[in-house]
Structure 1
Amino acid sequence: MSRRPRERHHHHVYVVQLSDRVWNEPAFRKANPAHDICKPCVYVGMTGLDPDLRFDRHMAGVQANRFVLKYGVRLLPELYECYNPMPYEAARDMEVELAIGLREAGYGVWQA
């Protein structure tokens, strides 16, 4: 019986749509002065888990970001699937780059 080699690239970036109510949070508003109200508010993260599982963990309060726990709506795979999976270092860097790119495009972004 042959053993499959362990997949080296198993980290992911992911984007969670947040309810528009997150805009009532002063810290979120302060972090997004150029938010285009036609674009959604989002949370950008990275994980060694499958993004669906990580989202479920956020919503269950397990190592959850407070904005995702309170305002999380759904994943937005169209904004991140093309990047995954990747090595840890690449995911760490891509999380920041993706957040910056989305903010520059007018999204309201929270990235911890």
Structure 2
Amino acid sequence: MPRRQPRDHYHVYVVLLSERVWNEPAFRKCNPGHDIVKPCVYVGMTGLDPDLRFDRHMAGVQANRFVLKYGVRLMPELYEFYNPMPYDAARDMEVELAIGLREAGYAVWQA
């Protein structure tokens, strides 16, 4: 009989992106209010451990193109206190976290 995963096993996560991502027109266009002293980040959600998900991005497995090309490291200080959570909460928190970081001056990509 297959084991069921716990209900609250979803995570939001934030990846620090190299400042070189700012050279990407699509990224710049989505971040007109970017405070240049704040970093560029990617916000995502996953049913995996965020460390494993980041490794998969960097290996090109279901990778976001900006994370694959410009990913530096995870920024757990921006997300770990939210995790874990149910799927619906993670889906909503991904959007809320991206909006909040953008409002705080971060340049954010959230797909």
Q: TM-score range by the shorter chain?
A: over 0.9
Larger radius of gyration: 1
- Shift of residue 110 of structure 1? 0.1
Separation (CA, whole Å) in 2 of partners of 1:74 and 1:88: 24
Aligned to 2:44: 45
Match of 1:95 in 2: 94
Moved over 4 A (4+): none
Mapping 1:25-64, distance limit 5 Å: 25-64=24-63
Relative to the length of structure 1, the TM-score reads 0.95
CA distance in 1, matches of 2:75, 2:5: 28
Structure 2 CA distance, aligned partners of 1:69 and 1:5? 31
Report deviation, 1:6. Answer: 4.5
Between the aligned partners of 1:23 and 1:6, the Cα distance in structure 2 is 39
With the length of structure 2 as denominator, give the TM-score of the two structures: 0.96
User: Whole-Å Cα distance in 1 between the matches of residues 64 and 105 of structure 2?
Assistant: 22
Residue aligning to 2:18: 19
Counting matched residue pairs gives 109
In structure 2, list runs of 5 or more residues that go unmatched.
none
Q: Counterpart of 1:96 in 2: which secondary structure?
A: helix
Q: 1:66 to 1:6 in 2, by over 3 A?
A: closer
Partner of 1:68: 67
Compute the RMSD of aligned alpha carbons.
1.2
Gap regions ≥5 residues in structure 1:
none
